[in-house]
Amino acid sequence: MITILSIMGNVFSTIQNKVEPQLMKTIIEEEIQRLTLEEKIGQMLMVSFNDNQIEEYISTHKIGGFIIFTHNIKDYPSIGSLTEKIYSTGLDTLGIAPFIGIDQEGGTVSRLEDLFYPIVGNMTLGAANSQGLAKEQGKIIGCILKEIGVNLNFAPVVDVNSDYRNPVIGLRSFGNNPEAVSTMGQAFVFGQREAGVISAIKHFPGHGNVDVDSHYGLPINPREWEEIEATDLVPFKELAANGIEMIMTAHIKAPNIDPNYPATLSKKTLTDLLRQELSYEGVIITDDIGSMKAITTQYPTEEAAIKAIEAGVDIVLIVADGNKVEKTIASLRKAVESGRLTEERINQSLRRILKLKLNYGLFKPRGQESLYKQEDLNNKIIAHNEKVYREAITTISNTLGAFPIEEDQKVLFITQGKNHYLNPLTKTSEGLDKLIGQYYNSFDIIDINSKNSSNIQKILKDYERIVIFSQRGYQHRLMSQLLKDFKDHPEVVLVSVAEPYEALTIGKFSSHLGVYGWQWEGLKALMEVLIGNTYPKGINPVSHNQ
């Protein structure tokens, strides 16, 4: 981490609305004295919402945080008006503006997909292996969020993706090398911080070594403590030491940390490990406890909220209807009145929350000056994507030299259900044939899912090269069989457009390239490599310890 800190510099102090420590302490203690119990509890909640709930949630329930989903976003002008309404209503009513959060990770998780061109995902950045590009990505996303009035991003994901079967992390991870995940994650955070946006890294103590999606069940990380410490915890330990503002919990159980409770509800995980052993002083927020089945199948939302705070959580995230929110508020109040939760325990969380809000200017009206047009931000994304993909295309193997492929060779391209992409220059969906036609004179494209795929074996002799696009093809019956049949074929090039786990699951291929995404910029960079105009520069981000 010394290297990245020396490259990035200490930008933390330059972008915050920094308050002198003694003055900050005085302000916070005065606020704690001023706020009622209901207002304190409200500061410890972040909720999903419909537009017509904003005033009630703030005026009646004193809510201190809101999370935006796609259903809240109508168009570019209205999202700014929405966040201004949330911010100003909170500031006018409570004297403290709310956190306004979103999941804008890039790649497969983007709530702003209808407003902005998609930016690359973390695994593509991991393959590019550039701290500068990771920081640039954080800065671009941060500028977008700042422009629309969002002050908190639940990103980056710093889970070390160790299990190829992981159904929920995968491309969202920078890879399976703990140190690389740490440095790339820290660079991303620096970028967002420079833009004035809070980063909440996730999911502590690591969601990468599981094979269950916590939206639908309770994942188990079976690792021994020594493995967890050497792998899953590394990014969190490094970023905690460098002042990360917020950490989101994972709804996973790690029996060798706590055999009884999932991390979100575990005092051993959040207080003993994160607070005491890792010396983390920032804000801890839960993942959603209102709808994710890892929690809801075990506890009612209101009981889970109490248990989470008992475990050491500062903010409880509830993605649910207003009824669950109201029940949770009532239960938290009763827990304080009965002595199950002390008001001093509530105040401990308030000190961390208010410190973060002070540092990011949430005690004063936000500026209204627009710095970027929507088109300018989209152009920044496209230019950034092109740079990343040029660095990310990876040679997994090329023992028989099936690429480069000359322009006059006859090529068969085999796809897996995706034959179109969005061209950012024309803003239209284009067929893959249009891009390939810019590079090759004679080619055909077959979709493995089409009725024509049964003839692939018969027609192979008609082609000098075969390029197979696999999107987790090892999980697809027809593609999996095709890959097994042709992994040693001297004229076949496998292209992974998701995580390149084909070598791990099916076997090493004679010629194998990694792209890590299905975007125009990535496919264009791939074609430049296939035809020999450039060479692959990326590293395989999931090759560590395989």
What integer pLDDT is reported at residue 2 of this predicted model? Answer: 35
Higher pLDDT, 237 or 450: 237
Model confidence band, residue 16 (pLDDT cutoffs 50, 70, 90) = low
DSSP alpha helix (H) spans, 149-242: 178-194, 225-230, 234-241
Reply yes or no on whether the pLDDT at 344 is more than 60: yes
What integer pLDDT is reported at residue 7 of this predicted model? Answer: 37
The stretch 193-212 carries a mean pLDDT of 98
Does residue 147 share a domain with residue 269?
yes
Model confidence band, residue 451 (pLDDT cutoffs 50, 70, 90) = low
The stretch 284-297 carries a mean pLDDT of 98
Reply yes or no on whether the pLDDT at 417 is more than 90: no
Model confidence band, residue 9 (pLDDT cutoffs 50, 70, 90) = very low
Higher pLDDT, 422 or 44: 44
Q: In this predicted structure, which of 242-256, 369-383, 417-431, 463-477 has the lowest mean pLDDT?
A: 417-431
Q: Give a yes or no: residue 290 inside a domain.
A: yes
What integer pLDDT is reported at residue 11 of this predicted model? Answer: 38
Crossing angle of helices 520-530 and 374-392, rounded to 10°:
30
Among residues 508, 510, 509, 513, the alpha carbon closest in space to that of 532 is found at: 513
Among residues 354, 316, 330, 364, the alpha carbon closest in space to that of 101 is found at: 316
Question: String of b and e for 374-405 (b: at least 16 CB within 10 Å)?
Answer: beebbebbbebbbbbbbbbbbbbebeeebbbb
Domain span at 76: 44-360
What integer pLDDT is reported at residue 452 of this predicted model? Answer: 62
Does residue 352 share a domain with residue 439?
no
Q: Give a yes or no: residue 546 inside a domain.
A: no
Does residue 224 share a domain with residue 91?
yes
Reply yes or no on whether the pLDDT at 5 is more than 70: no
Per-residue model confidence as pLDDT tens digits over 83-125: 999 999 999 999 999 999 999 999 999 999 999 999 999 999 9
DSSP alpha helix (H) spans, 362-518: 374-392, 432-436, 456-459, 477-486, 502-505
Among 336, 360, 384, the domain-final residue is 360
The stretch 114-137 carries a mean pLDDT of 98
Among 308, 335, 360, the domain-final residue is 360
The stretch 493-518 carries a mean pLDDT of 95
Reply yes or no on whether the pLDDT at 6 is more than 50: no
Does residue 348 share a domain with residue 442?
no
Q: In this predicted structure, which of 56-70, 239-253, 448-462 has the lowest mean pLDDT?
A: 448-462
Give the pairing of strands 511-514 and 394-398.
antiparallel
Does residue 400 share a domain with residue 317?
no
Model confidence band, residue 421 (pLDDT cutoffs 50, 70, 90) = confident
Question: Letter for the amino acid at 527?
Answer: M
Question: String of b and e for 340-359 (b: at least 16 CB within 10 Å)?
Answer: ebeeeebbebbbbbbbbbbb
Q: Rounded to the nearest 10 degrees, how much is the dihedral formed by the CA atoms of 313, 317, 322, 328?
A: -10
| Rounded Cα distance, 314 and 136, in Å | 30
Strand order through the sheet with 246-249: 283-285, 246-249, 198-204, 152-153, 99-102, 65-68, 45-47, 316-318
Q: Give a yes or no: residue 370 inside a domain.
A: no
What integer pLDDT is reported at residue 1 of this predicted model? Answer: 34
Does residue 351 share a domain with residue 464?
no
Burial of 13 (0-12, 13-18, 19+ CB in 10 A): exposed
Q: Give a yes or no: residue 9 inside a domain.
A: no
Per-residue model confidence as pLDDT tens digits over 203-224: 999 999 999 999 999 999 999 9
Does residue 226 share a domain with residue 280?
yes
User: Mean of the per-residue pLDDT values for the chain?
Assistant: 94
Q: The domain that contains 288 carries what CATH number?
A: 3.20.20.300
Reply yes or no on whether the pLDDT at 15 is more than 60: no
Does residue 172 share a domain with residue 265?
yes
What residues are labeled active site?
287
What integer pLDDT is reported at residue 423 of this predicted model? Answer: 83
Number of domain units in the chain: 2
Does residue 217 share a domain with residue 101?
yes
β-sheet bridge partners, residue 521: none
Q: Give a yes or no: residue 376 inside a domain.
A: no
Model confidence band, residue 454 (pLDDT cutoffs 50, 70, 90) = low
Reply yes or no on whether the pLDDT at 282 is more than 50: yes
Q: Give a yes or no: residue 337 inside a domain.
A: yes
The stretch 434-444 carries a mean pLDDT of 96
Model confidence band, residue 14 (pLDDT cutoffs 50, 70, 90) = very low
| Rounded Cα distance, 55 and 144, in Å | 25
β-sheet bridge partners, residue 428: 423
Instruction: Work out the angle at residue 176's Cα, subtended by the Cα atoms of residues 170 and 177, and round it to the nearest 5 degrees.
Output: 155
**Strands in 252-405 per DSSP E:** 283-285, 316-318, 394-398
Q: Give a yes or no: residue 17 inside a domain.
A: no
The stretch 356-372 carries a mean pLDDT of 89
Burial of 281 (0-12, 13-18, 19+ CB in 10 A): exposed
| Rounded Cα distance, 541 and 511, in Å | 18
**At 413, is the secondary structure helix, strand, or coil?**
strand
| Rounded Cα distance, 162 and 159, in Å | 9
Among residues 266, 300, 259, the alpha carbon closest in space to that of 284 is found at: 266
Higher pLDDT, 344 or 10: 344
**Strands in 184-286 per DSSP E:** 198-204, 246-249, 283-285
Instruction: Work out the angle at residue 291's Cα, subtended by the Cα atoms of residues 287 and 292, and round it to the nearest 5 degrees.
Output: 55
Helix, strand, coil shares of the chain, percent, nearest 5, are 45, 15, 40
| Rounded Cα distance, 262 and 512, in Å | 39
Asked whether 173 and 121 are in contact (CB, 8 A), the reply is no
Q: The domain that contains 404 carries what CATH number?
A: 3.40.50.1700
Among 318, 345, 360, the domain-final residue is 360
Does residue 265 share a domain with residue 200?
yes
Q: Give a yes or no: residue 116 inside a domain.
A: yes
> Which residues does 168 contact at the CB level (< 8 Å), separation at least 6?
207, 213, 214, 215
Residue recorded with tokens 């706020």:
35
**At 374, is the secondary structure helix, strand, or coil?**
helix
Does residue 476 share a domain with residue 355?
no
Does residue 239 share a domain with residue 130?
yes
Q: What value does the CA radius of gyration of the chain take, rounded to a whole number of Å?
A: 25
